Amino acid sequence: MKNYLSLIKFSHTIFALPFACIGFFLATTSITTSSSSIDWWLFLKVILCMVFARSAAMAFNRYADRDIDEKNPRTAQREIPAGSISPKNALYFVIVNSLLFVATTYSINLLCLYLSPIALGVVLGYSYTKRFTALCHFVLGIGLALAPIGAYIAVTGTFDNNSITAIIYSFVVLFWVSGFDIIYALQDEDFDKSLGLNSIPATLGKERALMLSNVLHIISASLVIWATWRSDVEIYSWIGTTIFVGLLIYQHFLVKPNDLSKVNLAFFTTNGIASAVFGSLIIFDLFV
């Protein structure tokens, strides 16, 4: 179990999960203003969809990149190259989680079921994009951006006028994730070039890649402010928005083109805190 949790980097669920919760509770408040009317069984299904889809995506990424990971000193000790999980078992794990994801969407509503193959196509297909396009970071962003609007649809079963805010949050995630994934990819610039792999750092170089990441995070910050402004929320949401935007800015002070020693701090710690705090305060404001 420890090896499989490490294989899928379960702790990284913190990035998109709070935004899925925002989508769920945003949809719930469009139906009722009473916290006692929350469908907790449906909420559990939404969480399970997140876990199953993300587990399938991460495991498939490790399976697809097993030969690449073996050659990269930074990733050579991952579970498949190190031999703690066989490629065959990793693929079985992908299949099981994909089936569980589709089955869970079936138990939610028909629209979620019909959209489930598209969602899987995006999150699984991402694993091969680095082989032919430097835009791979944006495909990853799209995969995680499905969380807010997917959770919204799980509650409403349809797109409606109130889904605009959930869509804005999806774009927040798209530009946010794409931006910090570019920062993370700085570590492999030389390795990617040596194998002919595509990434923004390998294509533009570290300095320009960081500039693009800055631009993406400025867009994300602008969108999150817009989403908060157009929502019927109070001071707690604005506190959460301020913290989220502040941590977006802070991570760009941590990483320099000639100093990547704090990439992990910028990638996981800063973004994890930003997402968790922001999501908690938005949800608190929606019902309290």
The whole-model pTM stands at 0.94
Measured torsion, CA atoms of residues 133, 137, 143, 146, in degrees rounded to the nearest 10: -120
pLDDT on residue 34: 52
pLDDT on residue 36: 55
pLDDT on residue 5: 78
Tell me the CATH number for domain 2-287.
Answer: 1.10.357.140
- CA distance linking residue 144 with residue 44, whole number of Å: 18
Please give the chain's pLDDT, 288 residues, in tens: 788 877 777 777 788 999 999 999 999 988 765 555 789 999 999 999 999 999 999 999 999 999 999 999 999 999 999 999 999 999 999 999 999 999 999 999 999 999 999 999 999 999 999 999 999 999 999 999 999 999 999 999 988 777 899 999 999 999 999 999 999 999 999 999 999 999 999 999 999 999 999 999 999 999 999 999 988 778 999 999 999 999 999 999 999 999 999 998 888 889 999 999 999 999 998 877
pLDDT on residue 266: 84
Q: Fill in the amino acid letter for 209.
A: A
pLDDT on residue 2: 81
